[in-house]
């Protein structure tokens, strides 16, 4: 059974720092992996989708990497801003392409 783990559960950094959020999964036979952002009490915003054949994707200050063999993905946020404060969720596409989720990393960027 696929399990997704995110470390750390919470992170607090000063504005301007570069940071890395980690996601690991137990079954390397995934299709794709997707990172989402969720603001308190709100729905999900897709940040990056990494196809199973890719090793990384970039969008603005965000870079996500994927290493299927080791069961890991990282989300790198450059030059963090207070507006980046949110919960970041990692999800893998499993059987029937349904998403299997981690518990998220709660990020606070302090001005």
Partner 1 sequence: DTGVSQDPRHKITKRGQNVTFRCDPISEHNRLYWYRQTLGQGPEFLTYFQNEAQLEKSRLLSDRFSAERPKGSFSTLEIQRTEQGDSAMYLCASSRGGPGARSYEQYFGPGTRLTVT
The Cβ of residue 1 has, within 10 Å, a number of other Cβ atoms equal to 6
Provide the 3-class DSSP secondary structure of residue 111.
Answer: coil
Provide the 3-class DSSP secondary structure of residue 102.
Answer: coil
**Nearer to partner 1 by C-beta: 46 or 81?**
46
- CA–CA separation, 81 vs 109, rounded Å? 6
Give the nearest distance from C-beta 85 to partner 1 in angstroms. 16
Give the nearest distance from C-beta 26 to partner 1 in angstroms. 15
- Per DSSP, what are the bridge partners of residue 106? 10, 87
Site for partner 1, rule CB under 8 A: 4, 31-32, 34, 36, 41-44, 46, 49, 51-53, 89, 91, 93, 96-104
**Nearer to partner 1 by C-beta: 18 or 31?**
31
């Amino acid at each position: 059974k696929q399990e997704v783990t995110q470390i750390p559960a919470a992170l607090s950094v000063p504005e301007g720092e570069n940071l890395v959020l980690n996601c690991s999964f137990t079954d390397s036979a995934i299709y794709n992996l997707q990172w989402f952002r969720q603001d308190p009490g709100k729905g999900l915003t897709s940040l990056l989708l990494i196809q199973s054949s890719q090793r990384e994707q970039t969008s603005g200050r965000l870079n996500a990497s994927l290493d299927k063999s080791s069961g890991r993905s990282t989300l790198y946020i450059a030059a963090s801003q207070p507006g980046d404060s949110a919960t970041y969720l990692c999800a893998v596409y499993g059987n029937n392409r349904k998403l299997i989720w981690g518990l998220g990393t709660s990020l606070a960027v302090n001005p």
